[in-house]
Every structure is written in structure tokens, then in C-alpha cells.
Amino acid sequence: MTEPLSNENLSTRSSLAETETEAETAFFKHIVRDALDAVVTISENGTIVFANEVAGRLFGYDQDELLDESIRSLFPERHQETYLDEFRRQVENADSTVEHSGLERTAIRRDGEEFPVSFSLREHRYHDRRLFTATIRDISERKRRQRELETVTEKYRTLVDTAPDAIFLADAETGTILEANRAASELLDRPIEEIEGMHQSELHPEDDRDRYERLFDRPRESDASVPDSHGLSVVDSNGNRIPVSINSNSTELNGRRVVQGIFHDISDRKRREEALNRLHATTHEMLETSCPETICQRAVETAADVLDLPATGIYLLSEDDDVLEPVVMTERVENLFDGDVPTYTSDDDLAWDVFETNEPRAISDFDATPSVADRDTPVRSGIIVPLGEHGIFITASTTPRDFDRIDFDLMRVLATNTETALTRAERERDIARQRDELTTLNRINAIVRDINQALVAAPSREEIERTVCERFADSSVYHGALIATLSSTEERLVVQTAAGIDDDYLDLITELGPKSKRGGAGTALQTGQFNVVEDVSSLSSLPQSFTSAANERGYGSIACIPISYRGTTYGVLVVYATKLTSVSERERSVFSELGETIGHAINAVESKKLLYSDSVLELEFSITNTGSFFVVTSEELGCSFELDGVVPRRDDVYLFYVTLSGAPSEKVIERADESPMVEHVRVIQETGDETLLEVALCGTETSAQALIERGAYVQRGSIEDGKGSIVVEVPANTRVRPFLDAVEEVYEETSLLSKQSRDRPFHSTSEFYHELGETLTERQAEILQAAYLAGYFDYPRASSGAELADTLDISSPTFHQHLQTAERKLLSLLFSERPRID
């Protein structure tokens, strides 16, 4: 390479300017010095020999400061050797003329700022010297715009490549696909290289390509877009049709009209729409039935066939509300569990939790779920959806599975529709059941009203029982009825009366012997509770020959109604029907009230029978060594009680009037307060060593109460030092055993001491008046009659005691003393010996 120019050859500051001719000066002024771009001339050794003003400004120097500087100073240090070596190779190559354009390099300003430049370099000779002139332009702005464009292009390319929808770019004239993204490759199951170059009509079914060509004719001719149309599809590499929606438009790109199409795979949407349409049809079918099993069967079939969930089942809450039981399962579920499909209880942390919280769950892997990981089950994944208060809907898989959103949503829709159908069916069943109950109740009430009217006039227990049975036999609802009691000696049912029941069947009941106690009637007698046997053949405790005989006669169901009053059971009414459905609470209440009504009627006729009987049977029972309040208190205090009388109250409380002797009344009251059977104790009168007490006892806690409830009249009783007895009267022709049984139910150690018949004294009306006249003094009779005639006993009183006293010219205390004495004597004649007065 030649040596740098010396001072001898070229002036340092203006060597070129000094040798300029007038024409050359004009050239430099108009072409170089006033140029818009920077111009730098360098010698063969790389020294700057000329720079215009623009070059100075570009690199941050004064124009003259660049002269005699090496071109190295115009470039960053890291590039200096490389750039200078390139220049030297061009200079040393004498065979070539240096001329370049569009060269890009990184330059540096005086302040150290680097910036991109573009320049052209041209070799020329000047006064026989070989020089090189570079025209330099700052391309920072262009580079910036280029980078921005590249960024935007990269973003666009990234967006296109990562777009979830398939994007195709096709030539608008030829229809050839120019570009396709990854989603397009996945949609068609073809590599991008294969797609690019295909004709756009090849994307669609061959038998419908004309339609697609017409569809895209319009966008080829203008900027109009292709609207989203229904029923469009593409074909993948396997020939499968894939439904799509297409949005396409035509645009100009690099002088070429292209069509850009965005294809959205709507397979899931189509599947959802088709499934929802099928679900809609299924819902209509489910809403048309009131059978829960049919509804569940239809729902499970739909899940398996429409939703493609083959291992599906429905669990419903059991009647006792503590178990979810499998109701309908697909065959796949049955096979998974070998026919032994599990139930779910509140101990289950998954199925029961979904039922209680009413929140659905999708489990992709049971082994990864802590609450069920250790469960011994062939199921590995599943969806559990609640059915409200009815139960749960389950679909399962034997492998881990990430159920997609469509599966989950469609299961929820199907479950919601199933729940609605089950709720509607249950409501309809409730309405039908209420309607049937109302019809049945009206029939029962009609029979009960008829029975009640007949009971009013029934003169005896036998007539009452016969009337009741005949009324049921005459109804159109029941075959007939019977009334039976339980024999304590033989421990079997004894039929008292029957109507509408086959005689041979009644003989079969007798032949059962002790086994008869095991049926519904025996249970009702022993428990005192109403019960229904809906299917007589289900009574496994009775011989099959007996239940078969009942079914042969149409006695498929029985209602067993205890006949009782105030704790005393008189028997059981058994009503026979072909079929009794579940008896409602209202029906149970009516039947129970009927049993009490019959019991009350029997008690009334038994009491009336005793009241009007000329002869009675006097029974004396031992009450020694019993838990009676009076026996225990007498033994503890060493005192005695004489029973004066017992008065029953309406609230099952009995008032005992007793005379206490041998102990302070305070001691008896103290023990009464500690006894749960005593409601209250009241001192009525104290005379010397004797105290008249009123003792209220609750429930059947004494022998007296049990006997009174059976229709006996308590005549007297006495207890001393824990030993005593009670004497009662019953009708002469009454069976004694029921009274003994009643007492023994209270105290097992009670025994019958004596039994004797006696005639009651007959008192005619004249005899009664004569005895009353002998008992009352003349003054007492006068005051009693005056009080009656003056309305003293009316309510409200027509005359007061003070007014009558003034009328009779006596003091008010004297009037009340005589009146009370007369009343006591009158009542003594009526109640002391209980005579029959005609």
C-alpha cells in the first residue's frame, strides 16, 4: 500500500481546495459541500483529505477537524481493524475499481455514541492522485422503523402461529394456499408443508366443493368478507369431516390480492348442541312419567348413549334417610363391581359430601385425591353431580381421565333435568296420595260416624262389638271385621264377634293357638299400638297355610286397632281389606280415636250395668307387699289408711279420699312430695287422731285405678302397717279374670282374697222420701226446700244466702249451717250405700 500523503504532496488543511480550478470550485460547492449527505474523501492509506460540513455535523466535529484524521476514528474500536482491513484489500487490488453502494456499518460520533450508517464508496483520481469518496447517511431512523416492523412482523407471526384457530392465506386469483399456521396443521392432521400449495377447495368435502368455490368467489373480486355460514366443514387427512365456522376476507399484500380465512373448529359446539337437543327430548320423556325408576333409567341411558359416558348410575336416598342406594346402573357399572354395587353413607367423604353440599365434583384421578386415595375400588376417575334432596348422579372410568368441560356441563344439565323430573314425580305422587288419603279418610269417617251413632243406643258390650263389625262389613271398602281378646290362660287370640269374615277362616284362627299372638292383632293387643299389615303373606311368624288361606279369600291386608279406654285394653278390632296402602297419620288418628271411642262405650255400658244391676259380685283383693303409695307409706310410718272413696278426673288423675290415723299428716305430705306418682295432697279435716286427706294420683299406679277403669265400683279399702285390701263391686254376671289381670298388671303380687255374690237393697221412691224425712229435721227440710224454690242453686243465683236468711228470719250463719247439714244428709243417702232408686 502507498505511504500516507506527505506535506510535500498535499497541504494538511486545504490541499484539495488550493489546487481547485474555478470550475472545480463550483463542482465542490454545489455537489459536495452543499450536499445533504455527509461526504468524506480519503486517501489510499485511509486518511481523510476532505469532509463536507454535513460530515462534520454527523460525526460531531468541526469540518476542518476531520482532515488528516484516519478513517479509524469514525468507527468503534471493536470494528476499526476489520473495516480498515477491508478498505486496504480494495486499495491493494489494482485490477479492480473500487465502487460500492448500499454498504452498512456501525459508526461512532465524537461523544462516543454509536449509530448505523449507510454509504457508497467510489474510487476516482484527482490530479493524478488515487482517492476514494464516500457518501455517508445516518440510517438510525430507518433501522428503528425496520426494527419496529420486524417486531410487529414477529408478533404477527407469533400470533398467527399460536392462534387457536386455523388460519389459511390463499392467492385470490388461483385459490392456492400460500401460508398456514400450526392450528391449521392440527385441524387437518397434515404438515404445513403439505397444506401450502394445496388448492383451497381441497380443504373441503369433495362432494360439496362447488359450494365452497362459489362461497369464495365474492371475496376474490372485492374486499368483502365471507360471512359465517352454517353447515361448513373441512376434511382431515383421514377423511373425517370436521364442522367449522369460517370468517374470511380479501386484502392486498405486496401487490398481490390474497384471501385470509380463519377456520374455527366447532366440533365441541356441535356436540353440545346435539347433546342438548337430545337432552331436551329426554327431559320431555322424563316429565311425562311419575315413576322414579323410569326417570332414572331414562337419565342413565341418555348419559351412556348421548354423552358417551358408559359407566353411569343414579343413587337415591333411602327412606330412612341415611343411605344412598344404587337404583339404576349401566351394565358397565354392574360388571365393574361384579353385581355388588356399593352404597354410600355419611361416612363417605366424597359421594355423601356432594349430596350434602349440593356441589358437583369432577375427579381426574382418585389415587391423587387424599380423601379417596386408599379406597379399594376399580374406579379411578369420575364426575359426581347432586340430584338435590333425591340423591346423586355418577359417571366413572377405570383409568385417570381429565373430563372436559362439555362432559361436566352436560352431566350437570342432565342431572338438573333429572332432579326436576323426580321432584315433579314426587309432587304428583304426593298429590295422588293425598287425594287417595282424602277419599279413604272420607270413607273411614263415614263408617266411624255411623258407628258412633249406633254406639249411643247400644245396650251392652256384645251389642257394641257386633255393631262395629257389621258396619265395616257393610262398607264397600272392607271385607269385614272381627274383635278379639287375648286369653291369659291359653295365651292365644279369642274371637269375640265377627262380621263379613268366613267362618272357616275364623276356625283357622282358633286352630293357631298360641301362634295367633304373633300376628298383627296379637301385636296390637300386647303393645296397645295401632298397626297395619299391608301384605298378610309377609307375616313369616304365622304358618304359610294360614296366610295362603287369607290371600285366597282376598284378605290381603289388615288394620289392627286396639280398643282401649284410660289405659285399659278391651280387645282389638281387626279390619280386613284386599289391599291397604301406606296409612297416613290422619287415618291412623281416626282409627286410634275409633278404638278409644269403642273402649269408652264399652266402659260406659259396663258402668251402667253395675249401676242398675240388682245383684253384684263383691271382690276383695289383697294389696299387701305392693308398691302402692298408701301401702309403702303405711309400712314406713306405722300408720293406717281407710279409703272413703275415689273420684276420677278428666285428665287421668284420680282423687283418693282417705282417713289417716296413727301418724302426723305432715309426715304423709312429706313423703307425697317425694313420690312421682302423687300430684298433690290436701288436708281436708283433722278430728282428734284422724285426718281426712285428698290425695291426687297420676296414671294407673294403684289397684283402685285399674279396677275403676275396668268398670268396677270401689266400695271400701283399708291399709295398716303395710298390709291391706280393697273391696269392689262388679256386675254379677261379669268375668272375674279381666279384673284380676288388671290388678296384676299394676302389682304382680296382688291376689284375689274373696268373691261373693249379694243382692242390693231395693229402695222405692216412697221409701227414699220416707228415709230422707226421717233423716232431716223439720228446720233443715224447710231451709233446703226454700233454697231450691228461691233459685239459690241456680246459676247465676236468683237469691243469695243473706236474702234467704232474712226471709226465714234467721241469721246468715245459721242458714248456711242448716243448709250444709241437709245437703250432707241427702248426699249420704245417695252415695253411702249406692242404693238403686226407682
Rounded to 10 degrees, the C-alpha dihedral 413/419/420/421 comes to 110
Do 59 and 134 fall into the same domain? yes
Average pLDDT over residues 750-759: 83
Give the pLDDT band of residue 7 (cuts 50, 70, 90): very low
- On whether residue 453 sits in a domain, the answer given is no
Residue 31: per-residue pLDDT:
55
Is 195 in contact with 217 (CB distance < 8 Å)? no
- On whether residue 817 sits in a domain, the answer given is yes
* Distant-in-sequence, close-in-space partners of 307: CB < 8 Å, separation ≥ 6: 275, 395, 407, 410, 411, 414
Average pLDDT over residues 163-186: 87
End-of-domain residue from the set 760, 778, 808 = 760
Do 703 and 825 fall into the same domain? no
Residue 667: per-residue pLDDT:
93
Residue 96: per-residue pLDDT:
58
- Look up residue 688 and give its three cell numbers: 282428734
Give the pLDDT band of residue 838 (cuts 50, 70, 90): very low
DSSP 62-96: -GGGGTT-BGGGGS-HHHHHHHHHHHHHHHH-TTS
pLDDT one-digit tens code per residue, 339-381: 888 888 888 778 888 998 999 988 888 777 766 656 677 888 8
Average pLDDT over residues 744-769: 72
Task: State the DSSP H helix or E strand holding residue 247, giving kind and residue range, or none if neither.
Answer: strand 241-253
Give the pLDDT band of residue 14 (cuts 50, 70, 90): very low
Residue 13: per-residue pLDDT:
38
Residue 1: per-residue pLDDT:
34
- On whether residue 601 sits in a domain, the answer given is yes
CB-CB neighbours of 457 under 10 Å:
8
Do 641 and 745 fall into the same domain? yes
Do 475 and 572 fall into the same domain? yes
Residue 5: per-residue pLDDT:
34
Instruction: Please say if the pLDDT value at position 296 is more than 50.
Output: yes
End-of-domain residue from the set 741, 760, 779 = 760
Do 729 and 626 fall into the same domain? yes
Do 595 and 622 fall into the same domain? no
Rounded to 10 degrees, the C-alpha dihedral 320/324/330/336 comes to -120
Query: What's the whole-number average pLDDT of the chain?
Result: 80
Give the pLDDT band of residue 76 (cuts 50, 70, 90): very high
pLDDT one-digit tens code per residue, 678-703: 888 888 888 888 998 888 887 656 77
Is 563 in contact with 600 (CB distance < 8 Å)? no
pLDDT one-digit tens code per residue, 710-739: 778 888 899 999 898 989 888 777 777 778
Whichever domain contains 528, its CATH number is 3.30.450.40
Q: Give the integer Cα–Cα distance in Å for 618 and 141.
A: 135
Do 295 and 248 fall into the same domain? no
Average pLDDT over residues 657-662: 91
pLDDT one-digit tens code per residue, 573-612: 998 988 776 566 777 788 888 888 888 887 777 766 655 5
Residue 683 pairs with which residues in a beta bridge? 693
- On whether residue 575 sits in a domain, the answer given is yes
Tell me which of 191-195, 541-545, 643-647, 828-832 is least confident: 828-832
Instruction: Please say if the pLDDT value at position 438 is more than 70.
Output: yes
Q: Give the integer Cα–Cα distance in Å for 593 and 606.
A: 20
Do 356 and 467 fall into the same domain? no
Do 736 and 794 fall into the same domain? no
Do 128 and 197 fall into the same domain? no
End-of-domain residue from the set 541, 576, 611 = 611
Q: How many domains does the chain have?
A: 6
Do 128 and 219 fall into the same domain? no
- On whether residue 151 sits in a domain, the answer given is no
Instruction: Please say if the pLDDT value at position 641 is more than 90.
Output: yes
Structural domain that includes position 800: 763-837
Share of the chain above pLDDT 70, in %: 85
Q: How far is CA 750 from CA 584, 585, 623, 627, 632, in A?
A: 41, 39, 6, 10, 14
Is 587 in contact with 440 (CB distance < 8 Å)? yes
Give the pLDDT band of residue 463 (cuts 50, 70, 90): confident
Instruction: Please say if the pLDDT value at position 836 is more than 60.
Output: no
Is 525 in contact with 563 (CB distance < 8 Å)? no
Whichever domain contains 251, its CATH number is 3.30.450.20
Do 279 and 425 fall into the same domain? yes
Give the pLDDT band of residue 224 (cuts 50, 70, 90): very low
Average pLDDT over residues 485-497: 77
Q: Give the integer Cα–Cα distance in Å for 348 and 355.
A: 10
Whichever domain contains 825, its CATH number is 1.10.10
Share of the chain above pLDDT 90, in %: 11
Instruction: Please say if the pLDDT value at position 102 is more than 90.
Output: no
- On whether residue 449 sits in a domain, the answer given is no
- On whether residue 434 sits in a domain, the answer given is no
